[in-house]
Amino acid sequence: MFKNPFFNNKGPIKLKLIFSACDLNEEKNKINDLIYDVKNLTDSSIKDITFFNSIRYKDDANKTKAKYCITTKKLSSFLPKTCKLLVVNNVLLSLSKVTKIFYPESVSDNFQINLKPLTKKIIKQNKLKIGKNILVGKNVTVGKNSSIGHNTIIENNVVIGANCSIGSNVILRNTIIKNNVHILDNCVIGKKGFGFYPNNNKNFRYPQIGCVIINDNCEIGCGSTIDRGSLSNTVIGKNTFFDNQIHIAHNVKIGDNCVVAGQVGIAGSSIIGNNVMIGGQAGISGHLKIGNNVHIGGGSGVIKNIPDNSKVMGYPATEIKNFLKMKNNND
């Protein structure tokens, strides 16, 4: 179950504040009911509020343990009777307002003013190799035998494991890096995701309360960006290697032993299986499931789920045999 390791939860929050944020009339007999956290459908408990905004998550909705759910009238029938409904017109806008009540500090990624150099004691104790102009914030730990390149900034809420190398000009925040991980030069990891919703003539920023987790034996190529999660975490599996200039959006889950070539972009909340190979300049749309052992050809555009053991290419991405046949017919 997801537990936020970094952002301070202001809960419990009275239900009447949540109703007010969603522009709903208060339930008179429940205005003082307490809600402890806002979570996704699968991680929420009887003390939490969740959200349900797409039919593709109907199975998760049916199993949710949340006490309350922000949803639409059209989707309400998929939720269990134990879950009480907050029916709104715009689920994501209402959710963003509610999340901001619980986690007001998660909206902005302002520059940290409390950065300091690593102490000589920590460098010596952990046998670290340190370049010039390294700054770190609060709640930062660096494992033994790790190295950090020149001009790198490790902002608040970062855990770096043992035997890791962090390149030069890297920025890290809200990130957990396991052991034997290599982050190459100019990466930005753990920044807030691309979360906002149009609201009349002003965009409403959506709080990003998750983190980035990079598991053992990974390599992240130069100039790559990995956004932290919104309500869950962005996760990179063990022994997964990225080429240069990769972008991973918020809530993306990538499995073990994957290889991703340069300039690939993966949109928010997509799930990539194990042993997946993605060719250069491929794009994967959001909220998709890519199975295990999938090969995606370079320059492909993936706009639908891909089952296990598939090999696809083209736009929209299709089985490679079909792609080659269509190409030959057009030549």
Please enumerate in sequence order all residues whose Cβ is within 8 A of that of 121, keeping only pairs 6 or more positions apart, or say none: none
Give start and end residues of each alpha helix (H) in 103-221: 120-125
**CA geometry: angle 159, 226, 290, nearest 5 deg:** 115
CB 93 within 8 A of CB 197: yes
Give how far Cα 262 sits from Cα of 130, 153, 220, Å. Answer: 28, 24, 11
* Amino acid sitting at position 310: S
Give the number of other CB atoms < 10 A from CB of residue 34: 11
Residue located via tokens 């998929």 = 78
Nearest to 144 by CA among 162, 165, 121: 162
Strand partners, 175: 158, 212
Q: Which of 182, 250, 287, 295 is catalytic?
A: 250
Rounded distance between C-alpha atoms, residue 229 and residue 252, angstroms: 8
Q: Is 250 a catalytic residue?
A: yes
* Cα dihedral value 79, 291, 319, 60, nearest 10: 0
Using DSSP's 3-state secondary structure scheme, residue 227 falls into strand
Query: How far, rounded to the nearest angstrom, does the alpha carbon of residue 265 sit from its chain's CA centroid?
Result: 14
* Pairing status of strand 13-14 against strand 129-130: unpaired
> What φ, ψ does residue 128 adopt, rounded to 5°?
-90, 150
Phi, psi of 8 (to 5 degrees): -80, 120
Beta bridge partners of 202: 199
Q: Which residues are catalytic?
A: 250
